[in-house]
Structure 1
Amino acid sequence: MYTLLKKEKTNNTMRLLLIICILLGVCVLILQVNADQWKTLKKDEQPSLDVTTSQSNENDSSNLLLNEIRRIIFNYKSSAPKMLGPDLAWTLIDADLPRTVNWTKRGAVSIVKSQGKCDSSYAFAAAGALEGLYFKYNNYTLLPLSVQNLVDCSIDFHNHGCNGGTIEKALEYAAANHGIDPESEYSYDGSSNTCRMKRSALVLVNMGYTSLMNGDESALKRVVATQPVAARIRVCFYDFMFYEDGIYSDSCPDEKRITVSVLITGYGRCKKQNYWLIKNSWGTEWGIKGYMKLARDRGNQCGIASAAFYPTLLLTKNAYNKLPALT
């Protein structure tokens, strides 16, 4: 009897030791899997991003370790749809990025237009970013979207029609409205009018947006590599107005600056200088047929990375996996 009890005690001890070894092994595996991931998160300071979407995102940095633990120990699979959007660009590292990007040449950007006397650059920039998103998720087809829809209808979101507004409020309107109309349904006339949006014509009905406001040009580059980005910049009035060519930079005092909303359509390098390629809404007579090369990696020139915004499409994992590869 004593021998049987002693054997049973020995077996229980061995089981306990085996369980402890398994748990220690799992902990080591978790640390190895997440070491590089946590270093990347620390480096990029992701919490500084202001993510404005109406739905939670399971890829949020605060949930990464928890999800990894669930996956390894329990083979965990969430029953909730996996939302893909704001943090897709953060899966890229600088070494993976192309040396130059030009979304205009790739066909994701509509033609340059003139806003006229209407202070609507915010609406042009927001519409351009939305066009880029549509292009990305609709077989790389360009669909010009309605700037006038944003001018007339985002007033309820504290924009002011032809008296000015902000990109983020225009995108907030588009998200809350479940999209905007195409240009063909709601053309631009350069004035403030009563909202006449056609709900039956809406596109991008399931979207949100993300803002990048920490001045990090490397972070902005990662996003621009995946889609056009709208940005609000502060420029020297006369230098910007009479810009014709070359890589622009300025250093005037703040009281001589104006705020302009533009669309960042790419980046590149010329004569050993890095630049952002931006699209304005002052017509083709301004700048390089409506575009400007703005100095990049020069101390966040004109605040280019301090108020940047890009729309995101909220997709389930199944819908995302069906998308064609971006080449």
Structure 2
Amino acid sequence: MKTLILFVALVGYTQALSYSDVLEEEWNRFQLDYTKFYQTEDEALLRRLIFVDNKRRIDKHNRRFMAGKESYEMGVNQFTDLLPKEFQSQMLSSLNITEAEGLIDFRYTAPRDVDPPSSIDWRARGAVTPVMDQGENCGSCWAFATTGTLEGQTFLKTGRLVSLSEQNLIDCSNDAPYYNEGCKGGLELNALMYIMHKGIDTESSYPYRGTQQKCRFNSSNIGASVEAFIGVSGEANLAAATAFHGPVSVRVDSEGMQSYKGGVYNNPNCSDEILDHAMVVVGYGNDKSGGDYWLVKNSWGTTWGENGYIRMSRNRNNQCGIATIAVFPIV
């Protein structure tokens, strides 16, 4: 009899639990999971309102995902208490395409006599270092994209996978002729030019801090160097470059990626010209439900996306500009 009463009580509680109650529980869990502390009650209230609004949007999208109308899932992550504009200002780095185009001396063209494989994953071949987190309030994606492609190219040449210092680039590649802006943004091409002239220290000798600091480059700690860099445009060329030459740095329009959780990201509304985020293509393949994809390493930590990676739509008219201006170094 007592068991029956308890069961009825639990059923009544479940039925009484509203969507607002669920959101409140998720808000409380979010603060614990991501160690969120707010300085004032007003700030906490604002963040809660933003979280609830983002969570409603996530749930609406995921209902479409469950119905087979979307190819990717959204989810709560460390950015769910941020407005899209806040997320953009804290995490992203804009790119002047005209300026970047002028820095490229060599262009890659896919070989005509050899077709690239149907899929490749450079992680499985040991050419990719672990995902890192650039941290909030530092738009250093350009530095991570630079080290990501250079780490892969250096591994393919030497057989040694060495993590390289993003902090070195943030602190030291700001003056002429490189003109990067630390946590405010930068260009992978300028960073590669800096490495051509100076070299780059290892991550272990010059660890990441997530803020721009005084340059501490030490030539005795150089982990890699660059002889030249090659520009890549077009998805066919990007596939061949990735397959035959290793990880490639790319730029994308990240609109909508703030809440990405998994699946093949398909956003036909994103731009192929407004490229505000840098990442590294480390492979490509095909998903039965989502179609062709690029396997892309990000720098927002492992709690974002698929353990820090995103699968982006491939062969869909250069969606999000992923093949507008890509680059890899010659070492």
- TM class by shorter chain equals 0.5 to 0.7
In the TM superposition, what are the counterparts of 1:17-32 in structure 2 within 5 Å? none
Match of 2:127 among 108, 118, 121: 108
Match of 2:162 among 119, 125, 143: 143
Normalising by structure 1, report the TM-score. 0.64
Q: Distance in 1 between matches of 2:270 and 2:111?
A: 38
Q: Structure 1 residues 105 and 194, CA, compared in 2 at 3 Å: closer, same or farther? A: same
1:99 and 2:152 matched: no
Q: Structure 1 residues 200 and 295, CA, compared in 2 at 3 Å: closer, same or farther? A: same
2:194 alignment counterpart: 173
Q: State the 1:235 CA deviation.
A: 2.5
2:280 alignment counterpart: 263
Q: Structure 1 residues 166 and 93, CA, compared in 2 at 3 Å: closer, same or farther? A: farther
Q: State the 1:181 CA deviation.
A: 0.6
2:105 alignment counterpart: 52
Q: Does the CA contact (< 8 Å) of 1:229 and 1:310 recur in 2?
A: yes
Q: State the 1:93 CA deviation.
A: 4.4
Q: Give the partner amino acid of 2:269.
A: C
User: Partner of 2:224: helix, strand, or coil?
Assistant: coil
Aligned length: 225
Q: Distance in 1 between matches of 2:124 and 2:102?
A: 29
* Unpaired stretches in structure 2, ≥5 consecutive residues: 1-100
In the TM superposition, what are the counterparts of 1:272-283 in structure 2 within 5 Å? 273-283=291-301
Q: Does the CA contact (< 8 Å) of 2:226 and 2:329 recur in 1?
A: no
In the TM superposition, what are the counterparts of 1:158-197 in structure 2 within 5 Å? 158-177=179-198, 179-197=199-217
2:230 alignment counterpart: 210
Q: Which runs of 4+ in 1 moved over 6 A?
A: none
In the TM superposition, what are the counterparts of 1:1-327 in structure 2 within 5 Å? 51-52=104-105, 90-91=110-111, 93-95=113-115, 97-116=116-135, 117-139=137-159, 141-156=160-175, 157-177=178-198, 179-212=199-232, 214=233, 216-225=234-243, 226-236=245-255, 239-252=256-269, 259-271=276-288, 273-313=291-331
Q: Give the partner amino acid of 2:318.
A: N
Q: Give the partner amino acid of 1:170.
A: A
What is the percentage of aligned positions where both structures have the same residue? 38
Q: Structure 1 residues 100 and 311, CA, compared in 2 at 3 Å: closer, same or farther? A: same
Q: Distance in 1 between matches of 2:121 and 2:275?
A: 26
Q: Distance in 2 between matches of 1:171 and 1:231?
A: 13
* Unpaired stretches in structure 1, ≥5 consecutive residues: 1-47, 54-85, 314-327
User: Partner of 2:154: helix, strand, or coil?
Assistant: helix
Q: Distance in 1 between matches of 2:299 and 2:141?
A: 6
Q: Distance in 1 between matches of 2:279 and 2:311?
A: 12
Q: Distance in 2 between matches of 1:49 and 1:191?
A: 29
Q: State the 1:252 CA deviation.
A: 3.0
Q: Give the partner amino acid of 2:317.
A: G
Q: Structure 1 residues 185 and 304, CA, compared in 2 at 3 Å: closer, same or farther? A: same
Q: Does the CA contact (< 8 Å) of 1:133 and 1:227 recur in 2?
A: yes
Q: Give the partner amino acid of 1:118.
A: C
Q: Structure 1 residues 94 and 221, CA, compared in 2 at 3 Å: closer, same or farther? A: farther
Q: State the 1:94 CA deviation.
A: 5.0
Q: Distance in 2 between matches of 1:264 and 1:206?
A: 19
Q: Distance in 2 between matches of 1:223 and 1:154?
A: 27
Q: Structure 1 residues 104 and 253, CA, compared in 2 at 3 Å: closer, same or farther? A: closer
2:93 alignment counterpart: none
User: Partner of 1:162: helix, strand, or coil?
Assistant: helix
Q: Distance in 1 between matches of 2:309 and 2:226?
A: 30
User: Partner of 2:183: helix, strand, or coil?
Assistant: coil
1:43 alignment counterpart: none
Q: Give the partner amino acid of 1:302.
A: C
RMSD between aligned alpha carbons? Answer: 2.3
Q: Distance in 2 between matches of 1:182 and 1:242?
A: 32
Q: Structure 1 residues 206 and 231, CA, compared in 2 at 3 Å: closer, same or farther? A: closer
Q: Give the partner amino acid of 1:197.
A: F
Q: Distance in 2 between matches of 1:260 and 1:310?
A: 16
Q: Structure 1 residues 228 and 93, CA, compared in 2 at 3 Å: closer, same or farther? A: farther
Q: State the 1:253 CA deviation.
A: 6.2
Q: Does the CA contact (< 8 Å) of 1:244 and 1:287 recur in 2?
A: yes
User: Partner of 2:254: helix, strand, or coil?
Assistant: strand
Q: Structure 1 residues 128 and 92, CA, compared in 2 at 3 Å: closer, same or farther? A: farther
Q: Deviations over 1:221-262 (max 9, x none)?
A: 1100121001111122xx2111111111213365xx771110
Q: Give the partner amino acid of 1:52.
A: D
Larger radius of gyration: 1
User: Partner of 2:237: helix, strand, or coil?
Assistant: helix
